[in-house]
C-alpha cells in the first residue's frame, strides 16, 4: 500500500495510479488536469492512462503493480475488473444501479457532477430569455445524471408556471442516422419559440444537427443549451452552442485527494465530492435576435453564416423567399442600411477574425473568402475599415 508523509515529503512507496478517464471530451481532460495538479503538488505519482476499455487491459494494471484507480465505470466488464483488483478506487459518475443499496459500488468513494444544480441553472438561464415554451432532450440511455438534470429542470420550470416537453429515445442503441429523423419530427412539433436544454454537449450538437436537417432555425425557433462547455464541440455547431461550465478540473483534484487518502490508509469510509456548475458560456445558439421582423432576422443570420463566400443580394432574397426589391426596402426600414452593406460588414468581420486569430497570409485569406486577389481584398479592407491591413495588424498586435 502506498504511503505518504506530507510533513517531510519522504516517499515510502511511489503511488502508481491507473486512470480510466475519457480523453475525447473536455470534461474528461479537465478531470485529468485536476488529477495531475494534485499529483504535482503532493507527488510525484506514476500514471497509467487508459482512455479505452480497462477490462481488456487490466492484466497490464496487475503486472504494473498499480496501487489505486480513478475510473469512469462504463461497462459491467470494467466494473468487475475493478472489483476483482481489490485496489483503492475513486469512481466518476456512477450509474444508478451501481450505487444503490444492492449495487457493487454502494460503498465506493465517488466524484460526480451536481446534476441537480445543473438542471436548475439551465432553467433559470433560459427563463431569463423570456421563453414561453421549454424542452429537455435526455441522454441516449437516460442514465441517472441525465434524469437528475431533467427532474430539476422541469421542477424549476413548474414552480414558475411553465410546462416542459421531454424527448426520450424509444429504444436503446438507435443509430443516429435513424434518430436524427425522429428527433427532427419531435422538434418540428414543439410550440415555438422554445428554450431547450440538452443533457450534454454531444446531445446538444445532435439537436442542432436535427434542426438543420428539418429546416428549424436556431435560435429563432429553438434555442439550444448544452452541458460541459466542450469548446471544440460547441464551436463546431452552426450556430455555435451555449453550454453550462462545470468545475471539472476541481473535481479531478478532489478525486486525487480522496484516492491519496485511501492509498495511505487515512480514509476508511465513503467520501463523495460534487462537481458544481460554475457558469454559462453564452453563444449564438441561445442569443435571441433583437430584430422584430423574422424575414430580416433570417436574412441577417444567412448573411453572417455565409460571410466566407461572395454572397449576392439576390441570393439572400432567394433564401428568404421575397423579391430583391421587397428585401431591400424592408432591410432599410428595419436596420437603416442596405443588404449590400450588411454583406460587406459581415465579410469585414470575417477577414478581421482571420487576421487576428490565424497565421494566414493576405493571399490565403483572399482565396478562402472568395475575394479573387489579395489586391482586391486590400482595397475592400481599406474602404470598409478605414485603414490598411498592415495598420490593422499593427494596431491589434501591439
For residue 370, which phi and psi values (nearest 5 degrees)? 60, 45
Report pLDDT for 60.
62
The CA-based dihedral angle spanning residues 275, 35, 47, 18, taken in that order and rounded to the nearest 10 degrees? -20
Burial 317-351 (b: 16+ CB within 10 A, else e): bebbebeeeebbebbeebbeeebeebbbbbbbebb
- Is the per-residue pLDDT at 330 higher than 60? yes
- Parallel/antiparallel/unpaired status of strands 242-246 and 277-281: antiparallel
| pLDDT exceeds cutoff 70 at 54 | no
Residue 44: asked if its preceding bond is cis (omega within 30°), the reply is yes
Beta bridge partners of 18: 48, 69
Contact 255, 92 (CB under 8 A): yes
- C-beta neighbour count of 130 within 10 angstroms: 9
Q: Write the secondary structure of 79-137 as one string of H (helix), E (strand) and C (coil).
A: HHHHHHHCCCEEEECCCHHHHCCCCCCCCCEEEEECHHHHHHHHHHHHHHCCCCEEEEE
Question: Could you tell me what percent of the chain has a pLDDT over 70?
Answer: 93
- As a whole number of angstroms, the distance between CA 322 and CA 119 comes to 41
pLDDT of the residue at 104: 82
Would you say residue 149 has pLDDT above 60? yes
Judge whether residue 351 has pLDDT over 80.
Answer: yes
Least confident segment among 64-78, 116-130, 156-170, 358-372: 64-78
Output the pTM of the full model: 0.72
Q: Say how far apart CA 247 and CA 274 lie, in whole Å.
A: 9
Q: Which helix (H) or strand (E) segment is 72 a member of?
A: none
Lowest mean pLDDT among 36-40, 82-86, 114-118: 82-86
| CA–CA separation, 196 and 183 (whole Å) | 13
Residues 323 and 336: their CA atoms lie apart, in Å, by: 19
Going through 199-335 in order, the beta strands assigned E by DSSP cover 222-227, 242-246, 272-275, 277-281
Cα 2 to Cα 12: distance, rounded to the nearest angstrom:
7
10-43 tens-digit pLDDT: 445 789 999 988 887 888 899 999 999 999 999 8
Each residue's pLDDT tens digit, 150-169? 999 999 999 999 999 999 98
- In tens, the pLDDT along 203-246 reads 999 999 999 999 898 998 999 999 999 988 999 998 999 999 99
Amino acid at each position: 500500500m502506498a504511503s505518504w508523509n506530507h510533513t517531510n515529503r519522504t516517499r515510502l512507496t511511489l503511488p502508481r495510479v491507473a486512470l480510466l478517464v475519457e480523453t475525447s471530451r473536455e470534461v474528461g481532460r479537465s478531470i485529468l488536469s485536476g488529477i495531475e495538479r494534485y499529483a504535482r503538488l503532493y507527488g510525484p505519482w506514476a500514471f497509467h492512462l487508459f482512455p479505452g476499455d480497462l477490462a481488456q487491459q487490466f492484466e497490464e494494471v496487475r503486472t504494473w503493480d498499480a496501487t489505486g484507480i480513478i475510473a469512469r465505470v462504463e461497462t459491467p466488464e470494467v466494473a468487475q475488473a475493478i472489483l476483482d483488483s481489490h485496489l483503492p478506487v475513486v469512481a466518476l459518475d456512477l450509474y444508478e444501479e451501481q450505487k444503490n443499496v444492492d449495487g457493487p459500488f454502494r460503498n465506493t468513494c465517488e466524484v460526480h457532477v451536481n446534476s441537480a444544480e445543473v438542471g436548475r441553472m439551465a432553467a433559470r438561464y433560459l427563463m431569463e430569455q423570456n421563453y414561453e415554451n421549454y424542452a429537455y432532450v435526455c441522454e441516449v440511455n437516460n442514465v441517472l445524471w441525465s434524469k437528475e438534470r431533467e427532474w430539476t429542470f422541469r421542477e424549476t420550470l413548474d414552480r414558475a408556471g411553465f410546462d416542459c416537453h421531454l424527448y426520450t429515445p424509444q429504444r436503446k442503441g438507435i443509430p443516429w442516422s435513424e434518430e436524427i429523423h425522429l428527433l427532427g419530427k419531435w422538434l418540428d412539433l414543439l410550440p415555438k419559440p422554445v428554450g431547450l436544454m440538452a443533457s450534454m454537449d454531444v446531445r446538444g450538437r445532435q439537436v442542432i444537427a436535427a434542426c438543420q436537417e428539418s429546416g428549424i432555425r436556431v435560435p429563432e425557433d429553438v434555442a439550444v443549451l448544452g452541458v460541459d462547455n466542450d469548446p471544440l464541440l460547441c464551436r463546431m455547431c452552426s450556430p455555435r452552442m451555449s453550454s453550462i461550465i462545470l468545475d471539472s478540473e476541481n473535481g479531478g483534484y478532489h478525486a486525487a485527494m480522496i484516492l491519496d487518502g485511501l492509498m495511505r490508509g487515512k480514509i476508511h469510509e465513503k467520501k463523495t465530492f460534487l462537481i458544481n456548475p460554475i457558469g454559462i458560456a453564452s453563444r449564438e445558439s441561445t442569443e435571441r435576435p433583437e430584430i422584430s421582423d423574422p424575414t430580416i432576422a433570417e436574412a441577417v443570420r444567412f448573411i453572417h453564416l455565409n460571410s466566407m463566400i461572395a454572397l449576392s443580394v439576390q441570393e439572400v432574397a432567394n433564401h428568404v423567399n421575397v423579391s430583391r426589391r421587397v428585401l431591400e426596402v424592408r432591410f432599410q426600414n428595419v436596420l437603416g442600411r442596405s443588404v449590400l452593406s450588411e454583406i460587406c460588414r459581415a465579410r469585414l468581420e470575417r477577414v478581421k477574425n482571420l487576421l487576428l486569430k490565424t497565421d494566414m497570409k493576405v493571399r490565403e485569406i483572399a482565396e478562402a473568402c472568395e475575394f479573387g486577389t489579395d489586391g482586391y481584398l486590400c482595397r475592400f479592407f481599406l474602404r470598409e475599415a478605414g485603414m490598411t491591413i498592415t495598420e490593422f495588424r499593427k494596431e491589434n498586435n501591439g
